[in-house]
């Protein structure tokens, strides 16, 4: 395996690291406290080409690879997990499926400005009554005589939803008690009947607004159908394969921030006649944190590399997300322990990292779903 970064990858990584340290990290605590949408950060990420990193330049993207995308995602999330997931949704959950399955018109008119970051996109799969069990969704779309679809239902926990120009919505187009067929629609926010609720008040990633979105007889023209009618479940699953790489990278960024702060704190905090970095109990926790982080990082970059090669990476993406997200939670738990009582107050950033970490085990497939995916692929032979 090749572990060295190319010259271009190293350059983009350094650019992301400098940008995150200079322009994002100083605002992270305020964004978390106020739950303010980070408009200026999103605009700067667009200027740097981070909103469509792996999309070809002809469609507004940066024309880079998915390894670079994972590296940048980690750096942005290390500074602010909210900013990281905004970038992730636009790249992984909107631009990627639009590039893979969209028509030429959709790529020119919708993908291009989204990859440029001039507008944003979101992904609508989860519903109030169907989270992990996506096959039980209730949202429906009915084909009309002119080829358009009439969309009714709702989607919830839609990250970037309140700010997205378009949302890829998955709906049942052919009801069946056991094997319904689904169709993906690109729904524009100004289509009549499209309604966005107030953004959710969340435990973590508070500046990355999510919301419930309602569709009341929304007429979606046939030009806005993504991929083949009735084949949307496949689109959703392929999209999530790639999306999980982004969330794994987000978890890595949060974990690295917690590790860095724990090491710095342990060298300053004095107890029992010296700094706590000299205590074996602290050293063992830091060692475990680093090992888990490095292992998860290798899995994440492997999955990203496989995606770049165009080979199937369903299990590998699931493994990366599973290990990275759960390791992130454990690492942030240890970071709180190392900081002691100070780790429990908002003045210290590890408290924020701990809250931000938890969502990485939930969205884009819970840890339990990742285990099902991994086991199913292994047992399939």
Both tokens of 176, joined, read 């069946």
Q: From CA 378, how far away is CA 381, in angstroms rounded?
A: 6
Cross-strand partners of 270 = 275
Exposure string over 144-175, b if 16+ CB within 10 A, otherwise e:
eeeebbebbbbbbbbbbbbbbbbbbbbbbbee
Taking CA 245 as the corner, what is the angle to CA 369 and CA 316, rounded to the nearest 5 degrees?
A: 65
- The two structure tokens encoding residue 186: 């690109």
Give the integer Cα–Cα distance in Å for 118 and 96.
16
Q: Which residues are catalytic?
A: 364
CA distance 321 to 304: 12
d(CA 355, CA 204): 5
From the CA atom positions of the chain, what is the Rg in Å?
A: 21
């Amino acid at each position: 395996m090749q572990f060295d970064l190319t010259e271009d990858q190293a350059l983009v990584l350094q650019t992301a690291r400098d940008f995150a340290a200079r322009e994002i990290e100083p605002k992270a605590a305020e964004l978390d406290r106020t739950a303010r949408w980070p408009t200026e950060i999103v605009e700067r990420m667009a200027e740097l080409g981070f909103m469509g990193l792996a999309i070809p330049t002809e469609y507004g993207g940066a024309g880079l690879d998915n390894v670079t995308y994972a590296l940048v995602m980690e750096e942005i999330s290390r500074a602010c997990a909210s900013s990281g997931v905004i970038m992730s949704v636009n790249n992984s959950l909107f631009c990627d499926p639009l590039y893979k399955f969209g028509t030429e018109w959709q790529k020119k008119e919708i993908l291009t400005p989204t990859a440029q970051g001039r507008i944003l996109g979101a992904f609508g799969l989860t519903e109030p009554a169907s989270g992990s069990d996506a096959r039980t969704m209730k949202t429906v779309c009915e084909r009309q005589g002119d080829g358009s679809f009439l969309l009714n239902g709702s989607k919830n926990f839609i990250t970037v939803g309140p700010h997205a120009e378009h949302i890829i919505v998955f709906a049942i187009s052919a009801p069946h008690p056991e094997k319904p067929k689904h169709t993906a629609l690109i729904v524009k926010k100004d289509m009549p009947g499209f309604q966005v609720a107030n953004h959710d008040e969340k435990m973590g990633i508070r500046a990355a607004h999510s919301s419930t979105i309602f569709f009341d007889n929304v007429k979606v023209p046939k030009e806005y159908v993504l991929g083949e009618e009735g084949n949307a479940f496949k689109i959703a699953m392929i999209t999530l394969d790639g999306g999980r790489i982004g969330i794994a990278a987000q978890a890595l960024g949060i974990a690295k921030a917690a590790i860095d702060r724990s090491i710095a704190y342990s060298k300053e905090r004095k107890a029992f006649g010296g700094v706590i970095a000299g205590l074996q109990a602290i050293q063992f926790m830091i060692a475990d944190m680093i090992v888990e982080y490095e292992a998860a990082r290798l899995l994440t970059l492997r999955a990203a590399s496989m995606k770049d090669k165009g080979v199937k990476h369903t299990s590998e993406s699931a493994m990366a997300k599973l290990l990275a997200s759960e390791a992130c939670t454990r690492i942030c738990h240890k970071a709180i322990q190392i900081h002691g009582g100070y780790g429990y107050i908002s003045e210290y950033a590890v408290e924020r990292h701990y809250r931000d970490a938890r969502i990485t085990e939930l969205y884009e497939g819970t840890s339990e779903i990742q285990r099902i995916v991994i086991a199913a692929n292994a047992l399939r032979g």
